[in-house]
Structure 1
Amino acid sequence: MSDTHEIASDRLSATIRAQGGELIALSNADGPALWNGGPEWPRHAPVLFPVVGRLKDDTLIHEGQSHRLTQHGFARDAMFAWVERSPARAVLELRESEATLAAFPFRFLLRMTYEIEAATLTVVTRVENPGDRPLSCGVGAHPAFPWPLAEASGKENHVLVFPQPEPGPGRGVEAGLLVGDIPLPFEGPELRLSEDLFANDAIVIPGAANSSVRFSARNGEGREIKALTVAWEGYKDLGIWSKPTGAPFLCIEPWYGMASDAGWQGEFTEKPGLLTLAPGEGRDLVWRVTLEFVPG
């Protein structure tokens, strides 16, 4: 049985890989719309679970015991099991194992559903608690899109357009951990992109006011020539990231949970911002990407 599966409509195709339960390709008639996993960063759209970002000292503390859990958790490197593979839909699952319990001492079911309709790919991340005690975790999406999105547009001619301004404040990041509040560099509802934005790591927006954003490539005269829209439901925080050293991709990351504050280290279930599920409870978190048609 193949490790990858392709789903498609008449306008869009996507490839999903069992390793990491990850979307690894997305394209339409205009060409690729997902980062190719090149040498600058080997991933495409990793699944972040059971933490988003880093814990201080990469250590999860629960009931007095310390567990080593590295940045963004283990799901992005785990082998998922196929549940469904059909022409327009793929479903994969990851459950706790002896290895995961050593790092994250909670039972869980993590199910990834990828579905294409017309020009939209919808990704549903479902977290269920099959255990007999509460499950606390972070969940995040990390899709990377080509930047520049259009060959005819330089990186500086790209903008993120939100439905409304993000009032902020954002959070600073040092060594993967959150530090003080910072102003967000918005011009009204727009964030004009440049490599300098990421000199200190990601732009982190706790409790984002928006639930969608348009990634727009423009020509030298300011006319849009290519675009895609990322929308989300159930997630509450947002990260925007590219390599601080510069790289030809931009990540738009809906999150539920964030990295630890640099000064915080304590009982994991008391970490601010986590998703907590009662025994038997489940939650769906959704993100979708639509490849927009831009008239010539």
Structure 2
Amino acid sequence: MTDTHRFGDSRLAATVSAAGAELSSVRDGAGGEWLWQAGPAWPRHAPVLFPLVGRLPGDVLRHGGREHRLTQHGFARDRAFTWRARGEAGCALRLVDDEATRAAYPFPFVLDLEWAVADGTLSCTATVSNPGAAPLPFSLGAHPAFAWPLPGAASAEGHAVRFPGLDLPALSARRLSGGLLDATETIPLAGGSLPLHQGLFDADAIVLPDFSGRRLRYEGPGAALEMGWEGYGDLGLWSKPGGAAFLCLEPWSGTTPPLGWDGDFAGKPGITLLEPGASRAFRWWIRPERA
């Protein structure tokens, strides 16, 4: 039986699983489901990416002259978290290092996830702590997949992502080759919005390193999803190449490395180094809206 917890109120309800601390449902007061329901096109809902966003060359983590096998997006999404709290308005879960994690990632760590619903808003706060005696290198990312079309929309047409407060004529994006950062692509915006169509993701994810925005609006006919984040400095947009009924909106701290890089993990471009005894919090939130 799946170990899950449902929480929220009459305006918004969410479900989180102990498996990966993964969000699996976001329903509004009218019963509309805003989260992708892990269909055949992609079997996940909203995995937590830790201690890696993207992948390493050959899936090999190099540190201190040794090699460890660490696969794409890390292991947190596939591990059982421990419940620390469960209530009507939210829940808290924890993952700590053990023998299995240290075989892939030779560092002590504590990863706490706290989910909460308040005033029609769902928030997720991730806190990474370093109980070790040396700096802790890590990346962290959110990977929630939202319904495309949005609830109430008749089709996938007429959807866009808008970046409020940014006067951008285009996005300067990085594309992927073998899961690693490759060429830069300029993606035009229309009135500050990115019109969505399935061909947009034929070349895989749109990666926006060092993105200046901290908020976006995913909009469709009759519905919109506002999203914001703190602590994360990068952004990814993704849907399954070839077409699928979801759009991933992904705040990240760190990205997959560029082609040609193959060094020590602690020196990976964009890595976060957390000093011994320190903690760092990262937060993202969403607010669904119906017309």
Equivalent in the alignment of 1:274? 271
Equivalent in the alignment of 2:46? 45
| Aligned mates of 2:171, 2:266 — CA distance in 1 | 26
| Aligned mates of 1:165, 1:105 — CA distance in 2 | 43
Structure 1 stretch displaced more, 25-34 or 136-145: 25-34
CA deviation after TM superposition for structure 1 residue 150, in Å: 3.6
Please give the per-residue CA displacement for 1:198-218, whole angstroms capped at 9, x wherever unaligned.
001001001111111111102
Amino acid corresponding to residue 26 of structure 1 in structure 2: V
| Aligned mates of 2:36, 2:167 — CA distance in 1 | 27
CA deviation after TM superposition for structure 1 residue 293, in Å: 3.7
Equivalent in the alignment of 1:157? 158
Equivalent in the alignment of 1:9? 9
CA deviation after TM superposition for structure 1 residue 72, in Å: 0.3
CA deviation after TM superposition for structure 1 residue 275, in Å: 1.3
Amino acid corresponding to residue 21 of structure 1 in structure 2: A
CA deviation after TM superposition for structure 1 residue 156, in Å: 2.6
| Aligned mates of 2:167, 2:40 — CA distance in 1 | 34
Asked if residue 148 in structure 1 is aligned to residue 145 in structure 2, the reply is no
Equivalent in the alignment of 1:222? none
- What TM-score, normalized to structure 2? 0.96
| Aligned mates of 1:168, 1:215 — CA distance in 2 | 16
| Aligned mates of 1:281, 1:293 — CA distance in 2 | 41
Structure 1 stretch displaced more, 282-291 or 174-183: 174-183
Amino acid corresponding to residue 90 of structure 2 in structure 1: R
Q: How many residues were matched structurally?
A: 288
Asked if residue 115 in structure 1 is aligned to residue 116 in structure 2, the reply is yes
Q: 1:2 to 1:246 in 2, by over 3 A?
A: closer
Equivalent in the alignment of 1:26? 26
Which of 278, 281, 285 pairs up with 1:284?
281
8 Å contact from structure 2 (residues 135, 273) kept in 1: yes
8 Å contact from structure 1 (residues 88, 116) kept in 2: yes
- What TM-score, normalized to structure 1? 0.94
Equivalent in the alignment of 1:199? 202
Structure 1 stretch displaced more, 4-13 or 71-80: 4-13
Secondary structure class of the residue paired with 1:27: strand
Asked if residue 171 in structure 1 is aligned to residue 182 in structure 2, the reply is no
Secondary structure class of the residue paired with 1:169: strand
Alignment of 1:116-135 (within 5 A): 116-135=117-136
Which of 205, 211, 214 pairs up with 2:214?
211
CA deviation after TM superposition for structure 1 residue 78, in Å: 0.3
* Backbone CA RMSD of aligned residues: 1.3
* Structure 2 residues not aligned, in runs of 5+: none
Q: 1:114 to 1:270 in 2, by over 3 A?
A: same
Amino acid corresponding to residue 238 of structure 1 in structure 2: L
Please give the per-residue CA displacement for 1:237-296, whole angstroms capped at 9, x wherever unaligned.
0000000111000000000000011110001100010111000110110000101242xx
CA deviation after TM superposition for structure 1 residue 187, in Å: 2.4
Please give the per-residue CA displacement for 1:92-126, whole angstroms capped at 9, x wherever unaligned.
00000000000001110000000000210010010
CA deviation after TM superposition for structure 1 residue 42, in Å: 0.8
CA deviation after TM superposition for structure 1 residue 10, in Å: 2.2
| Aligned mates of 2:27, 2:6 — CA distance in 1 | 11
| Aligned mates of 1:23, 1:216 — CA distance in 2 | 21
8 Å contact from structure 2 (residues 130, 278) kept in 1: yes
CA deviation after TM superposition for structure 1 residue 185, in Å: 3.0
CA deviation after TM superposition for structure 1 residue 2, in Å: 6.8
Secondary structure class of the residue paired with 2:188: coil
8 Å contact from structure 1 (residues 21, 112) kept in 2: yes
Secondary structure class of the residue paired with 1:266: coil
| Aligned mates of 2:19, 2:217 — CA distance in 1 | 29
CA deviation after TM superposition for structure 1 residue 151, in Å: 4.5
Equivalent in the alignment of 2:106? 105
CA deviation after TM superposition for structure 1 residue 154, in Å: 2.5
Give the % identical residues: 47
